[in-house]
Amino acid sequence: MITLGIDPGTAICGFGFVENLRGNFVAKNFGVITTSPQALMQDRLLKIYIELDALIKNFQPQILAVEKLFFGKNSTTAISVAQARGIVLLAAAQNNLDLIEITPNEVKQSVTGYGAATKEQVIYMVTKILNLDAPPKPDDAADALAIALAATYEADSLTRRNFLGDLS
């Protein structure tokens, strides 16, 4: 099973593909989609959609996982992240992908065992779990891989519960 994790943003949108090979997790691809701050918002969103759609068609994930929107103090940032997140949801729907939405604390808990882990702790664990030679760069790509890992764990857990429920 291949899971695509997305760390949404309009300037930098992180992506990471993780494959679960019988409990061994492999990073198939990761990186970022970047857009110019000088470009019109509709053009930035279109670029994210086109590149994301091409990645989905190339790597054919079964699940798309995206971080739930977190409202901080900067509402302008939250609005642009929400717009990018909408594009991600559209790409998931148009490609018939199962969608998992996950909070930042759920990602940290899943990957490190601690819901208040630091960014450095999350990156360290992503590097170890995926057996990478070096920490993924930039941080947005590392975050996307963490989201993909957390969603893969969640999907595996749901599958096991459904299977065990079928046995009773």
Sequential pLDDT tens for the chain (168 residues): 999 999 999 999 999 999 999 889 999 999 999 999 999 999 999 999 999 999 999 999 999 999 887 666 566 678 888 999 999 999 999 999 999 999 999 999 999 999 999 999 999 999 999 999 999 999 999 999 999 999 999 887 655 555 445 544
In whole angstroms, give the CA distance from residue 143 to residue 126: 9
pTM: 0.91
DSSP H/E element including 64: strand 63-67
Answer whether 34's CB lies under 8 Å from 12's CB: yes
**C-beta atoms surrounding 83 within 10 Å:** 17
Instruction: Catalogue the active-site residues.
Output: 7, 67, 140
CA count, 13 A, side-chain hemisphere, 146: 35
Task: Determine the pLDDT at residue 72.
Answer: 61
